[in-house]
Structure 1
């Protein structure tokens, strides 16, 4: 029996396999639905296998040994974090899964390397589309950053201009106005009265 046939057999077996849920998972929030534990209660209907109650774990639904742990393409999935890991893969037997901890820039490098080496990446469906999408995102980000720096510079200039105008205005004030202003300030401090 070839690997392809065994993969088909595995698919057939798994389509018949029931979902094994933990007893009373629907009654208790703390009990996880998918963390299987065998029912141990003395009067447990599930343990006794009564009709209308959930199925308990049984043998007979396992995959053939040769295809156990393989991807549906027949390749062994290997998690890749850097270019050295990617280069160490055997493209005829293994497929890459780019780690979720890898950032976008590093992921782009890994995808390019995989294209170059002809390695299949399981969690990137279309490499070209992915690269195009990321390129667009990076371009947008760069434009946004440039715009914000320009805005900041313009605001700074405006602030400096206002400060300059204020200084000129104060310098142009007559001594009488300055004296009046000084007395007003003094009055404010002494009486703590707001205008």
Structure 2
């Protein structure tokens, strides 16, 4: 056979696809496949479970103008109030950790003598208005509750409940459920209680 016969003809060369054409066809196929997958994903969105909201009662107290003004005054006084520190609180960790203020009693105690550069000493003048004592910033009188039966003794118009810190989760849920029925405001509702109420719905 001659070399001329072994060479492909012009028609055969035109019929055979080039490398660029093959690459373009593969890219087009991959683009079509990706488009189909995206369309399927859009057509079938994942069904999310419906989350029911737990609406807690938030009543308001009918405060007089004088009491409302005193509550604002108490807030301003609390912002300006210094941080009460014990003697050597900045020196010993055992004194600063979890301890409350104690009245200085030493003869040479610098806080008792009110020496410049030392923390302020507690005095009567830092006291808040008498009518606002033991009141929540919203104006409610706080009542500590340990049982669901205690919620029935609370006046929803003037009092709000605070669940005791030793109460377990099951009894907390019962207390909050009873408070919702009676329209009593609960100050310290935790996330665990809200989740349990959602599951029960």
Q: Same fold (TM over 0.5)?
A: yes
Bin of the TM-score, shorter chain as denominator length: 0.5 to 0.7
State how far apart, in whole Å, the 2-side matches of 1:48 and 1:66 are: 32
Cα offset, 1:69, TM superposition: 0.8
Describe the SS at the equivalent of 1:31.
helix
State how far apart, in whole Å, the 2-side matches of 1:12 and 1:28 are: 32
Cα offset, 1:43, TM superposition: 3.5
Out of 156, 163, 166, the position equivalent to 1:98 is 163
Counterpart position of 2:130: 65
State how far apart, in whole Å, the 2-side matches of 1:135 and 1:91 are: 21
TM-score with structure 2 length normalisation? 0.59
TM-score with structure 1 length normalisation? 0.60
Count of aligned positions = 136
Query: With CA pairs under 8 Å and 6+ residues apart, which has the higher RCO, 1 or 2?
Result: 2
Counterpart position of 2:100: 35
Cα deviation code 1:56-81 (max 9, x no counterpart): 11222211111101111111111111
State how far apart, in whole Å, the 1-side matches of 2:186 and 2:72 are: 22
Out of 144, 147, 156, the position equivalent to 1:79 is 144
Alignment of 1:1-195 (within 5 A): 2-32=66-96, 34-124=99-189, 132-134=194-196
**1:41–1:123 CA distance, 2 compared to 1 (3 A):** same
Gaps of 5+ in 1: 139-195
**1:41–1:106 CA distance, 2 compared to 1 (3 A):** closer
**1:105–1:136 CA distance, 2 compared to 1 (3 A):** same
Q: Which has the larger radius of gyration?
A: 2
State how far apart, in whole Å, the 2-side matches of 1:77 and 1:70 are: 6
State how far apart, in whole Å, the 1-side matches of 2:85 and 2:67 are: 31
**1:130–1:2 CA distance, 2 compared to 1 (3 A):** farther
Cα deviation code 1:134-165 (max 9, x no counterpart): 25678xxxxxxxxxxxxxxxxxxxxxxxxxxx
State how far apart, in whole Å, the 2-side matches of 1:78 and 1:6 are: 21
